[in-house]
Structure 1
């Protein structure tokens, strides 16, 4: 089976540990094979290549958390990326952490992890949803309680989660502000229906929800933009994890700082229905045939993308 996998851990040059080649395929008892039609890349894949959360004794490890394809009954399905795992301290793991990932011709998954793809949603669109878009949806709807919010701030739009949060926030009918360092990305933010802001820029109003995936460079700005009782929801720290927090502002403004990771199968189903109804369309930066997986990873690593990078079979 052809697959994109981690052949060696390279903390300082992660792409040098990426190999595209043949690996054996097996299906654990109680699981089913899915013929992959499309998959999408995530920063999680880059961290895996660096060896974060992936020890050397698990190599070679097929990369990828997200896949859409066809099950043994011929149904178009989306693979939910979370596997219950008693061996992991979290109680779960993602594909490519303990079980082979989705960047391959086939992936094995528990049958309960397969969601039917509605008519009108392509394999490529569906493959964007399970990690980045699900994370953004869970941050906004569940952790951030966006239903009670007037305005939302998304830090660092351009990457998968932040761009998804912009699109979902707009679809929910909220006033969305989003930051980016680059003018062309701010132009794309405006095209999605949000208000583009330079990093650290003053907003015309305070917001009720902040979506934080950047961390150290933006967290002070997130705190200053938060309205009384606002929720600052954190799913990552791509810019650094040692953010300064003014505790006086936290208690004076009664702010909530909430961690968030992934989402539920039910939420993923809700995202699929939003796609099918046309309320949202996953933002795809670029598509590559599977044979050009190395080019797709180079694109992901460039930092010049806006939305998701998709591999198609």
Structure 2
């Protein structure tokens, strides 16, 4: 089969570690089923894998990709939930310390075929296109959990999203706006800020800009570069939900005094459960939400999509299609 895979690890030049070509799918683990892929999409996780973050040298070559939609041998169209719990784990799979994602221990979704645990398949809504369904398993599920499970916000509350163009950010804006939240975004790029407003954000601000009022929650994916701004923008008793640190995890100032004195809540968040993925798909169908897609390419052009992600010139999701 054809796949986009990490052939090696390259911390400084991740694109040099990427190969697109023939790949032999290993035998299926017990209880797993084959899914013929229709489409998948990229995440920063894929670039981190090429750099060796979460993917050690002894596991390469490894097929990349956490997002995907495909068809089972029975003809069912399914969205893949790619959080893989350890054997015997019960309960919230995101809390399993031995959990993994497809593309970490097992081949990922950027391929013509993939093995997936049967319990990780969620029916694709009939009215959702394959390209849109290919976007939801990682960034959209992450945004859904941040907003509706971790942030504890209610309709009418104000939520600040640090960074306007990434997959999680655009998903959060679309989901929050549909749920009656006032969504604010920051961006270093004025054009991306305007596009976020077109997606449903109430206002866009320059990175680090003083806001007109304090917010009820902050969705933090950037890390060190925006941490102080996130804390200073939050109302007393509010919540910062952290899901990533693309600019580093060691801010110049931790803001501990402000956090404890104003009784702020700092909440980590990782992906989401299979149940939440089903809820997300139902909400998107009910609200007729279509994920923001930056571009769609065939799998054979995966290197171009990865180059675009590494370059940072992305607004929404980068989708790859398999087959005809």
TM-score (norm 2): 0.93
Aligned to 1:212: 220
For the aligned residue pairs, the C-alpha RMSD in angstroms reads: 1.5
User: Is 1:226 aligned to 2:228, yes or no?
Assistant: no
| Contiguous gaps of at least 5 residues in structure 1 | none
Structure 1 residue 18 displacement after superposition: 0.5
SS of the residue aligned with 1:258? Answer: strand
* Alignment check: 8 A CA contact 1:95 1:101 kept: yes
Contact 2:155 2:181 in 1 (8 A): no
Matches within 5 A, 1:279-298: 279-298=288-307
> For residues 94-132 of structure 1, what are the alpha-carbon distances to aligned partners after superposition, in whole Å with 9 as ceiling and x for unaligned?
000001111100010011100001111011111100110
Structure 2 residues not aligned, in runs of 5+ = 90-94
Shift in Å, 1:283: 0.8
The aligned counterpart of 2:189 is 182
Q: Take 2:212 and 2:35, find their aligned partners in 1: how far apart are those partners?
A: 48
Determine the structure 2 residue equivalent to 1:116.
Answer: 123
Matched, 1:255 2:264: yes
Mapped to 2, the partners of 1:173 and 1:278 lie a distance apart of: 11
Aligned length: 313
Checking the alignment, whether the CA contact within 8 Å between 2:85 and 2:96 is kept in structure 1 is no
1:120-131 alignment, distance < 5 Å: 120-131=127-138
Displaced runs of 4 or more, over 6 A: none
In 2, are the aligned partners of 1:78 and 1:117 still within 8 Å (CA)? Answer: yes
What is the TM-score of this pair, normalised by structure 1? 0.97
Name the CA distance, whole Å, in 2 between partners of 1:269 and 1:144: 19
1:165 pairs with one of 156, 172, 176 = 172
Q: Secondary structure at the match of 1:277?
A: helix
| Equivalent in the alignment of 1:267 | 276
What residue is the counterpart of 1:155 in the other structure? Answer: 162
How far did residue 53 of structure 1 move? 1.1
Question: In the alignment, what sits opposite 1:307?
Answer: 316
Residue 237 (structure 1) shift: 0.5
Three-state SS of the structure 2 residue aligned to 1:272 is helix
Distance across 1 between alignment mates of 2:193 and 2:233: 19
Q: How far apart are 1:148 and its partner, in Å?
A: 6.9
